[in-house]
């Protein structure tokens, strides 16, 4: 740890917790003095951790208390039984490790504690000279395995000094772990990371760590200050909202902190050079910046950095946590070069994650989707060009597509479209499925279930949809909003000539219920969405019926006479969408349902996700066609323009789309009026100091009252099996309002006195 030139801004377990209630309400809600103190502390931690600090590590420092005087966490206050276990295994695959997780690396009876401080992709397609195929740049989805898991190659940077300087025994143990292959030659955890579902690899580091804290590491979260700031720390939804809000605030503090630069999720000390020789940095920048005529060149940072350090002498600068600092210095040097455009070459970051960063260099002329784009915003152009999602010609939104083209959306109302016949028997009065949208990437149709469909577990299919499905098993994902028994599970179905069979419809389904079904062309995953009505329906004492339905079908099932049809006013048509992969109105309900199910939880039950990740979550596993991906993105943009979603633009990241419950959506444009998170505020203990342990003055011990209070707190948070022994050298201070005087929690230790 480099020597500090100023006094620590915060001393954990000596000072009151710095993780205060305002941290859950936004950086602008912090008092100026508190915000300044947090900023100074985070900068000091960044310097102490080698000059680079991940957002997850910054959150850990505030929540678990990184002691600047020790240069470590207080190991006696963290239970290693709740750490993420890393075990030797014959299978190269192991459960994915989140950045920020505390690790328990096991070899026989020996444990080595560490913190995961960074992570990047370890694609095996990358050459030693940094060359990497364009298709790998921006592709972070991983690939499916035969056992149903998803895998991708990752390198996790671990800090074995996070709990104090390694002892001589631990140094030897680390060397053994390298020789055994559990750690690679540079001391990193490089392996095939396994994910349970296809949406997990698409989460950013912070979101993946939050999910881990709410599940596997829940005991660590429950006994920290965050839970103590909430009126019901056992409410998982409330805890998730508060956790996400605290991460957002810490991210804002890192961006605002003087003396720090940010690179993706990392904060980097401005004065940090990581000890890299200028010649090594210059060599990497030169080799990345060069470009050849013709196709663009994609170059990965990590292999070039390793080669440059070995050539210059200090090979250890790519070992352990030093690797993160070295990567940050090189990438920021490249970023400075990229923001100084030249006429000879266009340089831009295309993927921040794979191999420590993939840079794209190309000589003019440039394609239309590069011109004017921020060079520090990773667009994943390489993967996009490989999959065909980026056409060579710029789309011309002013020129509407020919109406007869089958690949474009039909803008006729459903009543004007002749439905294709179903090859199944149906009564003359039964409504047929209606094609709402049809192009070469997706089909959307609506249908109403008849009693036989519910009884026999079938989903009717129009002929055109049947012909567009891929061979093999078909999966149906049902979005049935408002049903407490909706398991949201995907169901494997059997495709017959007339329908899909094997559906287990929810108990709350009734004849006539209307669904919007989305089918990707050539895909195997379908989505069916029901619509919850604002006001339930009642028919002659029958009801309530909560979901939109064909009332004639339902009346016939109830044995009621259908009323005389009333003339319906014409449905106003919206302006036709044009251009490449235009927005699709009939996809809107699925977009909202998909965000609610797969989106990252936020404050007030909000859900957020980037468009390309949402398309993968909806239509994976497997690659999603570029046109379908852009259709989802453009539909999200259209919903945002209509005020049904919120669109948030972040520097260097694709747009984020946010769904809010109807009664909680912000009504003011971002940046003009401060959004008050009132619901979360109502559950946060204002001006409150959460319960926590404190270090004892020399010669004193915890009082019996403090020990009893600590035991009650542990049992309340973790259950009756919790360890209730107060660690030696610490006392326990109950939660209290800031400024309230607390009785002493210790007394003089007279042990051994006569």
Output the pLDDT for position 41: 97
Number of H helices, E strands in the chain: 19, 35
Output the pLDDT for position 411: 36
- How large is the average pLDDT for residues 37-50? 95
Distance CA 245, CA 658 (A): 14
Question: Structure pTM?
Answer: 0.64
Residue 442: closest CA among 328, 558, 586, 538? 586
Those residues with Cβ within 8 angstroms of residue 140's Cβ, 6 or more apart along the chain or in another chain: 121, 152, 201, 202, 351, 353, 354
> Residues 107, 27: one domain?
no
> Residues 173, 236: one domain?
no
Q: Name the 3-class secondary structure at 129.
A: coil
User: Taking the CA of residue 689 as centre, how many other CA atoms within 13 Å lie in the half-sphere pointing to its CB?
Assistant: 19
Output the pLDDT for position 753: 34
Judge whether residue 42 has pLDDT over 60: yes
Domain count, the chain: 5
Output the pLDDT for position 37: 95
Q: How far is CA 43 from CA 535, 651, 692, in A?
A: 54, 21, 24
Q: Name the 3-class secondary structure at 654.
A: coil
Q: Which of the four pLDDT bands, split at 50, 70 and 90, describes residue 613? A: confident
Judge whether residue 324 has pLDDT over 80: yes
299, 287 in Cβ contact below 8 A?
yes
Q: Phi and psi of 528, rounded to 5°?
A: -120, 130
In a domain, 437, yes or no: yes
> Residues 301, 336: one domain?
yes
Residue 498 burial (C-beta neighbours within 10 Å; 0-12, 13-18, 19+): middle
Distance CA 474, CA 302 (A): 41
Those residues with Cβ within 8 angstroms of residue 167's Cβ, 6 or more apart along the chain or in another chain: none
In a domain, 664, yes or no: no
Distance CA 139, CA 563 (A): 56
Parent domain of 520: 414-558
- How large is the average pLDDT for residues 683-692? 81
Residue 473: closest CA among 268, 621, 314, 668? 621
In a domain, 257, yes or no: yes
pLDDT tens figures, 548-598: 999 999 998 888 876 665 555 444 444 445 455 677 788 888 899 888 888
> Residues 637, 702: one domain?
no
Output the pLDDT for position 418: 41
> Residues 426, 544: one domain?
yes
CB-CB neighbours of 745 under 10 Å = 21
Q: Name the 3-class secondary structure at 331.
A: helix
> Residues 425, 382: one domain?
no
Distance CA 521, CA 466 (A): 10
pLDDT tens figures, 459-496: 988 877 777 777 777 888 999 877 655 555 688 888 87
> Residues 244, 297: one domain?
no
- How large is the average pLDDT for residues 501-525? 88
In a domain, 399, yes or no: no
In a domain, 70, yes or no: yes
Residue 673 burial (C-beta neighbours within 10 Å; 0-12, 13-18, 19+): exposed
In a domain, 397, yes or no: no
User: Taking the CA of residue 45 as centre, how many other CA atoms within 13 Å lie in the half-sphere pointing to its CB?
Assistant: 33
In a domain, 615, yes or no: yes
> Residues 341, 358: one domain?
yes
Structure tokens at 336: 């400075």
> Residues 281, 321: one domain?
yes
- How large is the average pLDDT for residues 169-190? 89
- How large is the average pLDDT for residues 357-379? 87
Output the pLDDT for position 256: 93
CA angle, residues 478, 480, 484, in degrees to nearest 5: 120
Place of tokens 């505390």: 102
Output the pLDDT for position 46: 96
- How large is the average pLDDT for residues 383-412? 53
Torsion of CA 293, 295, 301, 305, to 10 degrees: -40
> Residues 161, 300: one domain?
yes
CA–chain centroid gap for 615, Å, is: 14
725, 708 in Cβ contact below 8 A?
no
Which residue has better confidence, 486 or 169?
169
In a domain, 78, yes or no: yes
Judge whether residue 671 has pLDDT over 60: no
> Residues 420, 552: one domain?
yes
> Residues 153, 56: one domain?
no
**Which of the listed residues 558, 573, 600 is the one where a domain comes to its end?**
558
Output the pLDDT for position 314: 64
Q: How far is CA 393 from CA 368, 375, 380, 506, 654, in A?
A: 7, 21, 18, 47, 22
Q: How far is CA 198 from CA 142, 360, 539, 575, 598, in A?
A: 8, 27, 43, 35, 11
- How large is the average pLDDT for residues 747-751? 42
522, 627 in Cβ contact below 8 A?
no
- Domain CATH code at residue 533: 2.40.330.10
Distance CA 560, CA 44 (A): 75
Residue 685 burial (C-beta neighbours within 10 Å; 0-12, 13-18, 19+): middle
């Amino acid at each position: 740890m480099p020597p500090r030139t100023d006094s620590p801004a915060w001393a954990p377990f000596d000072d009151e917790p710095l993780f205060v209630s305002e941290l859950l309400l936004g950086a602008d809600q912090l008092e100026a003095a508190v915000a300044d103190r947090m900023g100074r502390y985070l900068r000091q931690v960044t310097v102490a951790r080698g000059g680079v600090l991940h957002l997850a590590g910054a959150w850990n420092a505030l929540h678990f208390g990184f002691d600047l005087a020790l240069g470590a966490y207080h190991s006696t206050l963290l239970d290693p039984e709740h750490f993420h276990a890393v075990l030797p295994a014959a299978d190269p695959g192991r459960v994915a490790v989140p950045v920020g997780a505390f690790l328990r690396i096991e070899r026989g009876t020996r444990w080595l504690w560490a913190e995961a401080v960074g992570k990047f992709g370890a694609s095996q397609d990358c050459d030693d000279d940094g060359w990497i195929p364009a298709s790998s740049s921006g592709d972070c989805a991983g690939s499916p395995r035969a056992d149903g898991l998803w895998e991708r190659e990752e390198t996790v940077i671990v800090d074995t000094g996070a709990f104090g300087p390694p002892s001589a025994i631990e140094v030897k143990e680390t060397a053994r772990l390298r020789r055994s292959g559990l750690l690679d030659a540079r001391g990193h955890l490089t392996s095939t990371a396994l994910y349970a579902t296809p949406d997990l690899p698409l989460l950013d580091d912070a979101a993946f760590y939050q999910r881990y804290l709410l599940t596997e590491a829940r005991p660590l979260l429950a006994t920290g200050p965050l839970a103590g700031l909430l009126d019901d720390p056992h409410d998982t939804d409330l805890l998730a909202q508060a956790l996400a809000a605290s991460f957002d605030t810490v991210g804002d503090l890192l961006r605002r902190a003087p003396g720090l630069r940010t690179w993706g999720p990392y904060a980097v000390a401005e004065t940090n050079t990581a000890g890299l020789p200028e010649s090594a940095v210059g060599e990497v920048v030169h080799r990345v910046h060069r470009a050849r005529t013709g196709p663009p060149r994609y170059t990965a940072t990590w292999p070039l950095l390793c080669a440059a350090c070995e050539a210059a002498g200090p090979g250890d600068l790519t070992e352990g946590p030093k690797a993160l600092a070295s990567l940050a210095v090189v990438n920021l040097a490249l970023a400075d070069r990229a923001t100084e455009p030249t006429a000879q070459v266009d340089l831009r970051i295309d993927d921040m994650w794979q191999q420590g960063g993939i840079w794209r260099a190309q000589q003019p002329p440039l394609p239309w989707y590069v011109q004017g784009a921020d060079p520090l915003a990773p667009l994943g152009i390489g993967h996009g060009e490989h999959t065909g999602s980026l056409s060579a010609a710029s789309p011309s939104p002013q020129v509407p597509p020919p109406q007869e083209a089958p690949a474009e959306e039909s803008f006729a109302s459903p009543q004007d479209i002749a439905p294709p016949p179903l090859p199944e028997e149906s009564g003359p009065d039964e409504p047929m499925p209606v094609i709402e949208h049809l192009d070469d990437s997706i089909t959307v149709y609506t249908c109403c279930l008849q009693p036989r469909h519910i009884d026999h577990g079938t989903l009717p299919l129009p002929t055109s949809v049947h012909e567009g499905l891929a061979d093999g098993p078909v999966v149906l994902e049902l979005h049935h909003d408002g049903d407490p028994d909706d398991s949201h599970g995907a169901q494997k179905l059997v495709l017959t000539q007339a329908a899909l069979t094997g559906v287990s419809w929810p108990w709350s389904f009734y004849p006539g219920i209307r669904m919007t079904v989305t089918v990707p062309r050539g895909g195997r995953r379908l989505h069916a969405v029901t619509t919850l009505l604002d006001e339930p329906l009642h028919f002659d004492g029958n009801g309530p019926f909560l979901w939109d339905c064909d009332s004639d079908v339902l009346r016939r099932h109830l044995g009621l006479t259908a009323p005389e049809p009333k003339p319906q006013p014409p449905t106003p048509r919206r302006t036709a969408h044009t251009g490449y992969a235009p927005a699709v109105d009939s996809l809107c309900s699925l977009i909202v349902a998909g965000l609610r199910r797969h989106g990252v939880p936020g404050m007030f039950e909000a859900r957020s996700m980037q468009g390309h990740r949402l398309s993968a979550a909806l239509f994976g596993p497997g690659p999603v066609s570029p046109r379908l991906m852009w259709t989802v993105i453009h539909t999200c943009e259209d919903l945002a323009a209509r005020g049904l979603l919120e669109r948030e633009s972040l520097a260097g990241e694709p747009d984020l789309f946010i769904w809010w419950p109807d009664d909680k959506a912000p009504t003011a444009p971002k940046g003009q009026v401060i959004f008050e998170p009132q619901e979360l505020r109502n559950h946060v203990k204002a001006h409150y100091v959460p319960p926590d342990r404190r270090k004892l003055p020399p010669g004193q011990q915890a009082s019996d009252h403090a020990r009893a209070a600590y035991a009650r707190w542990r049992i309340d948070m973790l259950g009756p099996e919790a360890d209730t022994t107060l660690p030696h050298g610490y006392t326990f201070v109950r939660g209290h309002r800031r400024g309230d005087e607390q009785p002493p929690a210790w007394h003089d230790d007279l042990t051994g006195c006569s």
